[in-house]
Structure 1
């Protein structure tokens, strides 16, 4: 049996960089809330009043039939003459959803269009997207609890440490070792010796860019995407990537390099710089979730979407979409490549992830993109939930500004 020794005695240099300026605990939530509510205002439905008599405003519901009122994306069955005859006698015919080859009749929520909460959602449809990401965040919070319960007998800390060491061994001695010519320790040591000021910037970037950057992207793309269908593909891809990662976090807890024993040569530079994010602390944060890297998974998905938005590699445009000039093409292309590259540099230099974490995250993004429509199976449940809370799903405003005024975005 070959002895795979991946420990190297590396003397940590003296930490010479100036401590990063630490934001107050309330600052990051305020930043995220400002982005979200700013997007809610920017994507509001114009010429729609929440309060007033029914005759005092023009409802966007009026131009959509019962099946269409829920979503432009969701398939429904309206081709059968017999079905149309059956539902035509009802003022609010059921929504006929297709799920696993079956047609399911779901309650029609358009009867609740004039309820106060329906009007609020119609005025600010981005609130619906905010709800989706709250659900994502709740599921993430639960991964630490689920993983600890699963590995209660063997000890999750020991299991996660073994997995982290196994990742290092696979990168250096496995059959895919050719993909990792530079090791994480070498990457961090380059910054530690003579480039600590740059590392201080990366420490702060690791703490502050991930959540605000992702939230900002969702808000921005909801506003500028040429159609809601295009936006929804990106959102569903990111959501499915999330759930793939959450399952991995539970069944394969993995210790990040910064938490490995000292003989592996890594330093927790973010803590040394006192640059922790408020989102990265707390009882339910899963510190043993290095595999895969959602920092990189998000950034890669964002980067690919921005490159698509640039139009550089597209010969045809969507309906109403304007061809961008060369400056904006190159700007979006550089941003789409540069952002995930910067995040990859950050997560490895700060010893929060392995290169393989980024590779697995990339694979999850591709799989999620190809399978993103799997979320359609939850549409009947959404119909039922909306019926229970007596609300009509808002009609998205994505693309309205673009189509109505022909703006170049």
Structure 2
């Protein structure tokens, strides 16, 4: 690969691809979520007229509850309803070495919004991912406030240059045989059309692809506990990355001054995404790369279900056919590898960014159960909204494997 770091001498000659209208990406995500609601719905549940009779709860509550409602439980964490009818109903959540009592919400399962959720339980997942996206939107404002005196742009640029210096002189320098500039220049000189495809891939696949995976896995996972591990891992990966974005703003290579040898092919190619632009999008969040972090988690999950490795599925679970085994391996390796090439070739990330993302994802996997401490908050929220959390439908369609 050429070693050109004094500036970009190549011309951007590739013709831009057709750009989606501003409503295109939200429509794609909406269609994915809507289809997920339909496929994961509880077919025999009714919204207007709940099936079954009603059973009175302890006197003084003034609330009735359907006898046919299934208890909702998150993963394998126990939620025990008070067996003494003379006392108010409650759940007992185990938190670390102790426990906490939270109000039971079974009495609210006859409410209209509870029946809607019971019909479409995937709405719960949609709510939490929208909430996570909201937290991401806050990282830019908080980071700007923290670095208002020194100037966040200058701090982010300094951090970006620091990352490149670590790659060059640090103890892990042997992991980065090619400079980011050399990779982009190789595509600029020989494969500009491919670089345009990478720009579109980077902009359009990240959010719809991740949402699509969550929807697909909610439908096909062998059990909800397995799905919940993956979901919690992705969520904790997000939260850890958000903290890093806020405290360590890092400018991506394409936004560095031209003298460092990068070309902002994203803006040259008009390849901006609605998820990558706007006042609330944090463009100074190169470290770690969540594009690679998501793809790493997805790829690991697919490799896990190929059952081709010692850490594969348990003996009690269904073996995938040869076709699905090959498919899981090909996609489990190919997807994160494609994302890795894309984020470097488009100068959206440094080599160290995906390495940090993989490390954070592994940490999130081993610590994912820490998010269970938030279940009492969910109980109180449901009680405040007079809402009964539905039992998930994950695992009811095992034939799809």
**TM-score of the aligned structures, taking structure 2 as reference length:** 0.93
Q: Give the 3 Å change call, closer, same or farther, for CA 60–29 of structure 1 in structure 2.
A: farther
Partner of 1:205 in structure 2? 201
Q: Give the 3 Å change call, closer, same or farther, for CA 319–396 of structure 1 in structure 2.
A: farther
* Greater displacement, 68-77 / 277-286: 68-77
The answer to whether the 8 Å contact 2:47/2:112 transfers is yes
Q: Give the 3 Å change call, closer, same or farther, for CA 17–315 of structure 1 in structure 2.
A: closer
Matched position secondary structure for 2:68: helix
Query: Are 2:44 and 1:47 equivalent residues in the alignment?
Result: yes
For residues 347-405 of structure 1, give each alpha carbon's deviation from its aligned partner in whole angstroms, at most 9, with x where no partner exists.
11000001100000000000000000001111111100100000001100001121xxx
The answer to whether the 8 Å contact 1:203/1:273 transfers is yes
The answer to whether the 8 Å contact 1:240/1:368 transfers is yes
The structural deviation recorded for 1:239 is 0.3
Query: Are 2:103 and 1:129 equivalent residues in the alignment?
Result: no
Q: Give the 3 Å change call, closer, same or farther, for CA 347–115 of structure 1 in structure 2.
A: same
Q: Give the 3 Å change call, closer, same or farther, for CA 126–408 of structure 1 in structure 2.
A: closer
Partner of 2:5 in structure 1? 8
Gaps of 5+ in 1: 1-5, 79-83
The RMSD of aligned alpha carbons is 2.1
The answer to whether the 8 Å contact 2:47/2:115 transfers is yes
Matched position secondary structure for 2:99: strand
Distance in 2, matches of 1:240 and 1:299, equals: 15
The structural deviation recorded for 1:320 is 6.8
Q: Give the 3 Å change call, closer, same or farther, for CA 61–167 of structure 1 in structure 2.
A: farther
Gaps of 5+ in 2: 55-64
Partner of 1:188 in structure 2? 184
Q: 2:111 aligns with which of 108, 111, 115?
A: 115
Q: Give the 3 Å change call, closer, same or farther, for CA 26–232 of structure 1 in structure 2.
A: same
Partner of 1:166 in structure 2? 162
Partner of 1:73 in structure 2? 76
Distance in 1, matches of 2:306 and 2:95, equals: 35
How does 1:323-342 map onto structure 2 within 5 Å? 323-342=319-338
Q: Give the 3 Å change call, closer, same or farther, for CA 316–188 of structure 1 in structure 2.
A: closer
The number of aligned residues is: 389
The answer to whether the 8 Å contact 1:207/1:276 transfers is yes
The structural deviation recorded for 1:321 is 3.7
The answer to whether the 8 Å contact 1:187/1:349 transfers is yes
Partner of 2:144 in structure 1? 148
Runs (4+) off by over 4 Å: 314-320
The structural deviation recorded for 1:88 is 2.2
Q: Give the 3 Å change call, closer, same or farther, for CA 118–314 of structure 1 in structure 2.
A: farther
Q: 1:21 aligns with which of 18, 22, 25?
A: 18
Partner of 1:368 in structure 2? 364
For residues 111-147 of structure 1, give each alpha carbon's deviation from its aligned partner in whole angstroms, at most 9, with x where no partner exists.
0000000000000000000001011011000000000
Query: Are 2:386 and 1:397 equivalent residues in the alignment?
Result: no
For residues 23-71 of structure 1, give each alpha carbon's deviation from its aligned partner in whole angstroms, at most 9, with x where no partner exists.
11101000000000100100001111111254499x997374xxx4343
**TM-score of the aligned structures, taking structure 1 as reference length:** 0.91
Q: Give the 3 Å change call, closer, same or farther, for CA 53–393 of structure 1 in structure 2.
A: closer
Distance in 1, matches of 2:263 and 2:86, equals: 67
Q: 2:245 aligns with which of 249, 252, 257?
A: 249
The answer to whether the 8 Å contact 2:253/2:347 transfers is yes
The answer to whether the 8 Å contact 2:69/2:109 transfers is no
Distance in 2, matches of 1:284 and 1:291, equals: 18
Partner of 1:383 in structure 2? 379
